[in-house]
Amino acid sequence: MTVQPLPPLQPAAGSAASMRTKTIIGGGLIVGLYLLPFVLGESYLFLSIDFLIMALFAVSYNLLLGQAGMLSFGHAAYYGLGAYTVAILFNKLAVPVHIGLLASPFIAGAIALAVGWFAVRVTGMYFAMLTLAFGQLLHTVVMGWYGFTGGDDGLPVMPPDWLLPARNYYLFVLTVTLVSLAALRLITLSAFGTALNAIRENRQRAIFVGLGVRNYELGAFVIAGAFAGIAGAMRAPLQQMAFPSLLHWGQSAEPVLMALAGGIHTFAGPIVGAAIFVFTNFVITTYSEYPLLVFGVIVLLVVLYLPGGVAGAVIDAWERLRRRAR
Amino acid sequence: MKVTQKAYGRRAVTRAMLGAMALGPSLAGVARAQSDIKIGLTTDLTGIAASYTRSTVNGVELGIDEVNAGGGLLGRKVALLVRDSQLKPDLGTTHTRDLITREKVDVLIGPNSSAVGLTVSAVARQYQKPVIMTTPNTPRLPMELFHPHFFTLVPSGLMEARAMAEVMGPKGKKFAFIGGDYEASHQGLKFFKERLAKVNPAAAFVTEAWPKLGEPDYTSYITKLASAKPDVVFSYLWGADLVGFIKQAKPYGLFNRTAVGTLLFMDDLKALGQEMPDGIWGQMRAPFFAMQGDTVSRFVERYRAKYNDYPADFAIMGYEAVMAYAGAIKDAQSVEAPALVKALEAGTFDLLRGKTKFRQLDHQGDVPSFIGKTAAGDKVPFKVLAEVERVPADKIWPSEAEVLEARKAK
pLDDT digits over B77-134, tens only?
Answer: 999 999 888 888 888 888 899 899 888 999 999 999 888 999 999 999 989 999 999 9
Question: What pLDDT is attached to residue A148?
Answer: 82
B243 and B351, same domain (yes or no):
no
B66 and B167, same domain (yes or no):
no
Q: What is the CATH number of the domain that holds B138?
A: 3.40.50.2300
Q: Are A119 and A132 in contact (CB under 8 A)?
A: no
* Residue A255: burial class (beta carbons within 10 Å; 0-12, 13-18, 19+): buried
Q: Which residues pair with B178 in a beta bridge?
A: B209, B235
Section A283-309 average pLDDT: 75
Distances (CA, A) of A166 to A44, A49, A102, A171, B51: 10, 9, 21, 9, 34
Number of domains chain B is built from: 2
Q: CB distance from B334 to chain A under 8 Å?
A: no
- With 90 as the cut, is the pLDDT of residue A273 above it? no
Q: CB distance from B23 to chain A under 8 Å?
A: yes
The SS3 call for residue B350 is strand
Q: Given the cut 0.90, state whether the ipTM is greater than it.
A: no
Question: What pLDDT is attached to residue A111?
Answer: 94
Q: CB distance from B83 to chain A under 8 Å?
A: yes
Q: CB distance from A148 to chain B under 8 Å?
A: no
B255 and B373, same domain (yes or no):
yes
Q: Are B134 and B321 in contact (CB under 8 A)?
A: yes
Residues of chain A with Cβ-Cβ distance to B183 below 8 Å are 146, 150-153
Residues for chain B: how many in total?
410
Mutation site, A157, A161, A234, A239, interface B, largest B CB count within 10 A: A239
Indicate the range of A129-133, A185-189, A299-303, B291-295 predicted with least confidence: A299-303
The SS3 call for residue B93 is helix
The rounded mean pLDDT for chain B is 88
Distances (CA, A) of A21 to A18, A178, B335: 5, 20, 54
Q: Name which of B88, B93, B182 is nearest A152 (Cβ-Cβ).
A: B182
Q: Give the CA radius of gyration of chain A.
A: 20
Section B218-246 average pLDDT: 92
Indicate the residue type of B256: N
B316 and B382, same domain (yes or no):
no
Cα–Cα distance for residue pair B17/A220, rounded to 1 Å:
38
Mutation site, A290, A294, A302, interface B, largest B CB count within 10 A: A290
B91 and B151, same domain (yes or no):
yes
Closest CA to B166 of B242, B222, B232, B246: B232
B195 and B47, same domain (yes or no):
no
Q: Chain B residue with minimal CA distance to A92?
A: B410
Is B13 part of any domain? no
Q: How big is the CA angle at A241 (ends A236 and A244), to the nearest 5 degrees?
A: 90
Mutation site, B183, B236, B407, B410, interface A, largest A CB count within 10 A: B183
Alpha carbons within 13 angstroms on the beta-carbon side of residue B86 total 17
Count of H-run helices and E-run strands, chain A? 15, 2
Q: How big is the CA angle at A54 (ends A104 and A178), to the nearest 5 degrees?
A: 70
- With 80 as the cut, is the pLDDT of residue B18 above it? no
- With 90 as the cut, is the pLDDT of residue B146 above it? yes
Domain residue limits at B217: 158-284+369-396
B137 and B100, same domain (yes or no):
yes
B115 and B163, same domain (yes or no):
no
- With 60 as the cut, is the pLDDT of residue B154 above it? yes
Cα–Cα distance for residue pair A70/A216, rounded to 1 Å:
11
Q: CB distance from B409 to chain A under 8 Å?
A: no
User: Which residues have CB under 8 Å from B374's CB, separation 6+?
Assistant: B269, B276, B277, B278, B279, B280, B281, B282, B383, B384, B385, B386
A 153-212 residues inside an 8 A Cβ radius of B: 153-154, 156, 164, 166
Is B60 part of any domain? yes
Beta strands in B36-173 (DSSP E): 37-43, 78-84, 107-109, 131-133, 150-152
Per the CB < 8 Å rule, is A151 touching B182? yes
